[in-house]
Amino acid sequence: MGNKKKTTIKDIANVLGITPSAVSRALNNHPRISEKTKIAVKQVAENLNYQPNHLASALRKGKSNLVGVIIPRNNSNFFSSVLENIEEVLNKKGYNIIITQSNESYKKECSSIEALLYTQVDGVIASMANETVDLSYYEKIKSKGIPLILFDRGENDLNVDYVGIDDYLTSHMIVEHLLDQGCKRIAHIAGYSKTRIYKNRIRGYNDALEKHGLPIEKDLIIESNLRLNDGRRVMQELLNLNERPDAVYAAGDYAALGALQVLEEQGIKVPEEIALVGFSNEPFTSFVKPSISTIDQKSALIGKLAAEAFLERVNNPKVKASLNKIIVDAELIIRDSSNKKE
């Protein structure tokens, strides 16, 4: 059976005996079209299951009222919260969002950007995939004059608005906390250092150790995708060292959870034998036993500020895009997994 023909404005016009342009004006609530005609057009459109061609409309108007949002993954409370707040702010200003996820894949991220550009989005708000090193697709967004806002993960070289935390200082704060708990051999389950935020977290970790006269041991820094299975694998590697760590700082909560599972399976007491700190304040961190110390990145505020940065660019299109870092203060939430001094 062939595909059913899509209803067009011309089909509605034929039913009512009016011109297609009159139908178009009625659907767009034009003041010169009578209320009677508008009601008739909308009723026929509904009866014929007419679906407007938003892409064609965007091409005509030069504006789609759509904003593309690219996230690395959707199974994270951090990204879900950012999305919710971006959408809330933009909906109030008449924009809808199109959500795509890269699954940490550079190739998928590039295809998402192509699809969003084809859809004629009015802007892109993005957090980069772990694999992304080549910035040419993001440069392509800029070259078309489309506002680009980066959050959480971004690169200074793109010279656009960025909203996030100070990863260097936050990482420094975590190490200081663990040292304050009496830990001396702190391991770091890191994200890939090619990604700026994880590079800065590693740098903060290293500098905090150096500040306190502790050696930086390469065996104690292991880069990964920070998923649950990565946390399990890396924790096992750390336990297999001749001298195991007395604390673990994971740059993501899912990796921290994986590490905690391995420690529990092997009967290692947390925090007495090995203290543990994660990153992102995922909901499960407060439910598990022991509860996991972590960083609250203020995701709701990041989402709100990213949306407002886009609106600012739209309202001031003649202002040349430049690196504008909006830094949000993160908070260390100390829970049972690292609190040795109760």
For residues 131-141, average pLDDT: 89
The CA distance from 13 to 41, in Å, is 8
Residue 63 pLDDT exceeds 80: no
**Percentage of the chain surpassing pLDDT 90?**
68
Per-residue model confidence (pLDDT) at position 318: 74
Q: Which of 245, 256, 308, 241 shows the shortest CA–CA distance to 286?
A: 256
Q: Write the DSSP assignment of 53-107 as a string of letters.
A: -HHHHHHHHT---EEEEEES-SS-HHHHHHHHHHHHHHHHTT-EEEEEE-TT-HH
Structure tokens at 145: 């004059």
Per-residue model confidence (pLDDT) at position 60: 59
Residue 57 pLDDT exceeds 70: no
Q: 227-279, pLDDT tens digit by residue?
A: 999 999 999 999 999 999 999 999 999 999 999 999 999 999 999 999 999 99
Higher-scoring residue by pLDDT: 15, 202 = 202
Higher-scoring residue by pLDDT: 46, 216 = 216
Per-residue model confidence (pLDDT) at position 236: 98
Q: Write the DSSP assignment of 186-219 as a string of letters.
A: EEEEE--TTSHHHHHHHHHHHHHHHHTT----GG
CA 126 to chain CA centroid, Å, is 6
Q: 43-56, pLDDT tens digit by residue?
A: 988 888 887 766 56
Q: Which residues of 177-188 are buried (b: 16+ CB within 10 A; e: fewer)?
A: bbbebebebbbb
Q: 192-212, pLDDT tens digit by residue?
A: 998 889 999 999 999 999 999
The CA distance from 208 to 222, in Å, is 17
Residue 58 pLDDT exceeds 60: no
Residue 62 pLDDT exceeds 80: no
For residues 28-48, average pLDDT: 87
**Percentage of the chain surpassing pLDDT 70?**
94
The CA distance from 222 to 189, in Å, is 5
The CA distance from 126 to 194, in Å, is 17
